[in-house]
Structure 1
């Protein structure tokens, strides 16, 4: 019985300590009203022992948090303060063994009601115009746009008042969802419709002045009737203002400025606002009601000028006299058909300027084009439509050729116009800048491993990308604050590196805790610093891109429960030579009873160094080698490398990293050139190798000839540091394939302090196997032929007389 209880206890400990990847898929309800308490349910999987709701914005506090009936849910009470910002509040759920993906909770000014649905929740009860769901004015409805579904909500309104509708659909971040809305009168005539909005992107808004007392119906559906049960929305219905743009679109930090909010059906709304220090979204107030979503206002220290009409030609370019010197910014509106706005500025020879348009970035419908010219004669300098990386806002970089005045003119690419075609042109000097970001691990799962989760007594590494603009420099990484018991390791990152591993380690007794932390990078010479920027894509579709995202300069970092294994990395104390290899030894230290396979990868490799994508420590085993190989032009330097391992448990995957291990890439000790050899099938031969020692070594080195064709073999040979030539006998069988074999090379293994230094040298060695010459033909015996007597020569008359006389 004791043995059985021990086994059960061991299995229970393994199961309860293996929920390393909590999955949070849904938050219900999707939002709440300011100044209220909201009971919230978190749904997903592996939500064991929830510890904390990590909130990215102030205004919401957690009154209570408890686990659900099983590991698929958790419950919390959120307290929304009266001064909480309206809109999206990103959050994560931190459990004892991990941190979830980022999800969102939305704060609104109205009470929330839910769409009426059938008892089984599979259908709704408001999909007919004649039987809509009755709602009061100034309410938020949470609903679902199913396939071929149209949801109708009826509200009473009075003549002359504003009736506005705004939807949060795609922005809820659950699925690609393109909502459509319409405001209908009692006869089902459309008074306003909207699909997409530059301000809200794929989400939409519509607003009218009510023409007469009566009932009005709000229609919400998926634009193509292709919704799903995941197409959730929050629709705000009320008397709130809904401007679509703001002018001027920018101001200075701390400046008190009068902003004009444009596009509301009641007319422009003016408001004096004191700006903060960063880009803001301002919710305009009308009476006691605010717009549900704010209008973005750019914050910049640049001086700026607002356009003054007329400025539609080079002669009337603003300002006509006393042009301001760069850096400077200009504001304007493309308000007329084929409108072109011109601005004048001064610049000095040699200045490196960037002319950047902000229009789509500020949620304006303008698709800008710009042209830069000399002011003195109108000579063309350059132009731009869309900047790089698919951004529709224009950008042009140029080196100022001479002191003087220059003009920039801006227009809409398709000659469209509206009071909302607002823009800002920034003319600034190209300044150095630094930043760091974590790249997506998978295109289809852009949040994968974007949290830093360190198991107690273990390590985890990240490999962020470094961005250097207008500067080349080494980089130091700074973590001003970390969870208790956590340290970070990374050497100075050389200027030619665009990424590098950063290793976090938690002490064995580190408290299980976490939160949001800001990191920085720094140029050690100039002391220029830049932030660690994080972009979370909530809705991303392959080949279509990103539909909703959240930007932050803080990362989620947490100490989590112990992992069932540790990884130790050992690199031999010898160099990795160019065109050579090195075996890294990886050892797993497993907890008792944990035997599952561990997949190991090297997340970062030096330039010119290769390695397998993955190697696997087999089930029940504790060691494996990972082979590095260096190209012939690999940079000569010393690096620090590490490996990361992952394994599956009954409740998810867990990741850990090894220690850093030094790897030095150096020149080879020996070079070798193979001379061409020729032979025939079945005829042994010898290939000659010319040996050049580049660095002295002790003892003998092993030499093995590789890439020989089938039927040819060679034995291992030895060389010393003073060897200059090596003869390698080849045994050639009759089965050897004829032809030219030109991929021969030698592996030379030099041993230093008991550790091998493999070299692959002599590439391109050639063995030519010729066909044997044809056997000589035997000559046939000539046939015997009877000799014919030659005809007698006729005797002359004199010879005849002599013969006669002799007789």
Structure 2
């Protein structure tokens, strides 16, 4: 039996390509219409404690008639929507968007809400907004961001806090050397773990370094006990953990790595929790329990038995820290080198 190969003509190929292009254009039009001009540009505050209700203000463009907020993870429900007055003057943004409208609602955070980042969109009838994010912490939250610019920029003026707290802070745009200092009681041998979220909670990035912060731990004389700028775990967001060497006071300094003339928001987690930096092995076979060695804590390495999710892919492991390690759920068992 002879086989006949039909070769399309140039016109037929052109017609097929035009049809495919038309379908892609229609699909893009449908998606664009679904999202429309509804843009979330700012969500304030950026963080809330699990088990609490937080009043949240969302700012953006064409967001004044929300029906509901759709969260991509379980644990948070938005209630009590209220339209706030428009900003007196709209704020233009470098990516050609702007902020004009604002709404207020309450985020009810369940006691067992997953920690970390919670993406969401606002639904407006048949349309949805661009993506917004909100973060959940295990610690109580205090707001330091409304202070005067020179309120806590020296050891003498350091803001007193208790351990196991998340501080919402802000570095202003006016001073090249602006720092924020916080004072914590120290006890010899006690662990102090400090993490800064800034890049991870920023509203937008334009290639500058305004969200690239550094942290230092200082003794009562201002001598440096520990410091971090960048690290493999959080990249540009600093993290440091140490065993305190004396009884008394220690100071936590937050500052920019590189000056940029913009306000910089951050969340500072100050705790006594363990802070591993690396897990080995970095995961295991899906649906099993795996003994994982956690490395990098100042008190030494330790082991945890971790349940590996049934679904393959990356998953977050928090332990008792405010931020996670990324582990892998694999369809295959581990083979480890001695």
TM range (shorter): 0.7 to 0.9
CA distance in 2 between partners of 1:113 and 1:187 (Å): 26
Q: Does 1:141 align with 2:167?
A: yes
Distance 1:171 1:271, change over 3 A: same
Aligned counterpart for 1:297 among listed residues 304, 312, 327? 327
CA distance in 1 between partners of 2:227 and 2:127 (Å): 44
Cα offset for 1:205?
0.3
Which residue in the other structure is 2:201 paired with?
A: 172
Cα offset for 1:69?
2.8
Q: How many residues align?
A: 281
Secondary structure of 2:240 counterpart: strand
Cα offset for 1:116?
5.2
Q: Does 1:49 align with 2:65?
A: yes
CA distance in 1 between partners of 2:305 and 2:261 (Å): 42
Q: In the alignment, is the contact (CA less than 8 A) between 2:145 and 2:170 conserved in 1?
A: no
Secondary structure of 1:171 counterpart: helix
CA distance in 2 between partners of 1:108 and 1:274 (Å): 22
Alignment of 1:341-360 (within 5 A): none
Aligned counterpart for 1:107 among listed residues 136, 157, 167? 136
Alignment of 1:118-137 (within 5 A): 118=147, 123-137=149-163
Q: In the alignment, is the contact (CA less than 8 A) between 2:283 and 2:308 conserved in 1?
A: no
Secondary structure of 1:130 counterpart: coil
Cα offset for 1:29?
0.8
Deviations 1:513-567 (A, max 9, x none): xxxxxxxxxxxxxxxxxxxxxxxxxxxxxxxxxxxxxxxxxxxxxxxxxxxxxxx
Cα offset for 1:223?
0.7
Aligned counterpart for 2:292 among listed residues 233, 238, 259? 259
CA distance in 2 between partners of 1:220 and 1:95 (Å): 40
Which residue in the other structure is 2:255 paired with?
A: 221
Deviations 1:68-107 (A, max 9, x none): 2347111111111111111111112223474322121010
Aligned counterpart for 2:111 among listed residues 58, 72, 82? 82
Cα offset for 1:48?
2.1
Which residue in the other structure is 2:218 paired with?
A: 184
CA distance in 1 between partners of 2:126 and 2:36 (Å): 5
Q: In the alignment, is the contact (CA less than 8 A) between 1:116 and 1:124 conserved in 2?
A: no
CA distance in 1 between partners of 2:322 and 2:150 (Å): 26
Which residue in the other structure is 1:577 paired with?
A: none
CA distance in 2 between partners of 1:95 and 1:172 (Å): 25
Secondary structure of 1:306 counterpart: coil
Identify unmatched segments of 5+ residues in structure 2. 1-34, 87-99, 206-210
Q: Does 1:244 align with 2:277?
A: yes
Which residue in the other structure is 1:211 paired with?
A: 245
CA distance in 2 between partners of 1:76 and 1:138 (Å): 27
Alignment of 1:517-536 (within 5 A): none
Q: Does 1:307 align with 2:337?
A: yes
CA distance in 1 between partners of 2:240 and 2:261 (Å): 21
Cα offset for 1:189?
1.1
Q: In the alignment, is the contact (CA less than 8 A) between 2:79 and 2:107 conserved in 1?
A: yes
Which residue in the other structure is 1:283 paired with?
A: 318
Identify unmatched segments of 5+ residues in structure 1. 1-18, 285-289, 309-807
Q: In the alignment, is the contact (CA less than 8 A) between 1:167 and 1:235 conserved in 2?
A: yes
CA distance in 2 between partners of 1:116 and 1:80 (Å): 22
Q: In the alignment, is the contact (CA less than 8 A) between 1:29 and 1:40 conserved in 2?
A: yes
CA distance in 2 between partners of 1:124 and 1:45 (Å): 33
CA distance in 2 between partners of 1:31 and 1:23 (Å): 20
Secondary structure of 2:67 counterpart: strand
CA distance in 2 between partners of 1:296 and 1:214 (Å): 36
Which residue in the other structure is 2:307 paired with?
A: 274
Based on CA coordinates, which of the two structures has the bigger radius of gyration?
Answer: 1
Q: In the alignment, is the contact (CA less than 8 A) between 1:115 and 1:124 conserved in 2?
A: no
Greater than 6 Å deviation, 4+ residue runs: none
Distance 1:212 1:270, change over 3 A: same
CA distance in 1 between partners of 2:143 and 2:124 (Å): 29
Distance 1:116 1:232, change over 3 A: closer
Cα offset for 1:228?
1.7
Which residue in the other structure is 1:28 paired with?
A: 44
**Structure showing the higher helix proportion among its residues:** 2
Secondary structure of 2:200 counterpart: helix
CA distance in 2 between partners of 1:81 and 1:249 (Å): 29
Distance 1:96 1:221, change over 3 A: farther
Deviations 1:300-324 (A, max 9, x none): 112331111xxxxxxxxxxxxxxxx
CA distance in 1 between partners of 2:83 and 2:281 (Å): 49
Distance 1:161 1:114, change over 3 A: same
Distance 1:42 1:116, change over 3 A: closer
Secondary structure of 1:271 counterpart: strand
Cα offset for 1:270?
1.1
CA distance in 1 between partners of 2:145 and 2:122 (Å): 29
Which residue in the other structure is 2:75 paired with?
A: 59
CA distance in 2 between partners of 1:97 and 1:72 (Å): 20
* TM-score normalized by the length of structure 2: 0.79
Q: Does 1:37 align with 2:53?
A: yes
Alignment of 1:517-666 (within 5 A): none
Deviations 1:424-450 (A, max 9, x none): xxxxxxxxxxxxxxxxxxxxxxxxxxx
Which residue in the other structure is 2:94 paired with?
A: none
Cα offset for 1:143?
1.0
CA distance in 2 between partners of 1:95 and 1:68 (Å): 17
Q: In the alignment, is the contact (CA less than 8 A) between 1:167 and 1:233 conserved in 2?
A: yes
Distance 1:134 1:150, change over 3 A: same
Cα offset for 1:117?
3.6
CA distance in 2 between partners of 1:163 and 1:33 (Å): 20
Which residue in the other structure is 1:391 paired with?
A: none
